[in-house]
Amino acid sequence: MRVSTRLCQSDMLQFMTLLLVLLAFSLVVTWPTQALDSNDSWYALIHVEALAVSLLALGFGAFVSVTPQESAPATLGALLCFVVIGLPLTVGSYAASFPATPLGWSLAVLLLEPLAYFGIGLALGAAFAAARLRFLLPLMVPLLLGAMMMFDFWLGVPLFNPILGVSHIALSHLAMMALLSFGTLIYLVRSTRSREGEA
């Protein structure tokens, strides 16, 4: 399945629309109205975007187990397109806010997080499918994300927290996301080749 075809599907379009609305809302609400007010819109927007994209990636990865396997790469590609479509808002708010975090860092983390969380979602979905507990997936997706964030707080090192990782330079988070993304890509390539081999 192509990425464009996957994006045209109603669930993807709806989530993309929802994401754009969320980003626009967070931008407009935090936009300064007085000249002396500091523009902190980027902080609100990037945190909302990171959390939303990570949650979507985790959810779509988990539910790939209930959909045909060949949609997994297309779904991942569509999720990455979410990030690109939201780029004008991200870049525009960054230009007006002057945060200390480099823009390149935030964009790199924003692109790695869907990859990483998609892989975690795949693992979650496969595990719950094997345990015949797919009905718990809608509950487990947000719970797992919350648990990973709490784990970071307990550990004192940012590893999985998408909010902290996107707005602060945290090499540990980047390394973890890169590792998980690499693992996800390896898994998808292998599974695609094995399906092609079977076909």
Point out which residues bind another protein (CB under 8 A). 2-5, 7-8, 13, 16-17, 20-21, 24, 27-28, 31-39, 81, 84-96, 98-100
Which CB sits closer to another protein, 95 or 127? 95
Which CB sits closer to another protein, 96 or 174? 96
Which CB sits closer to another protein, 76 or 144? 76
Q: Which of 19, 17, 87, 91 is nearest to 55 (CA)?
A: 19
CB contact at 8 A, 83 and 53: yes
CB contact at 8 A, 92 and 23: no
Which CB sits closer to another protein, 28 or 139? 28
Closest approach, Cβ 169 to another protein, in A, equals 14
d(Cα 30, Cα 39) in Å, to the nearest integer? 8
Closest approach, Cβ 8 to another protein, in A, equals 6
3-state helix, strand, coil in the chain (%, to 5): 80, 0, 20
Closest approach, Cβ 140 to another protein, in A, equals 30
Closest approach, Cβ 42 to another protein, in A, equals 10
In sequence order, which residues have a C-beta less than 8 Å from that of residue 106 and are 6 or more positions away?
46, 90, 94, 166, 167
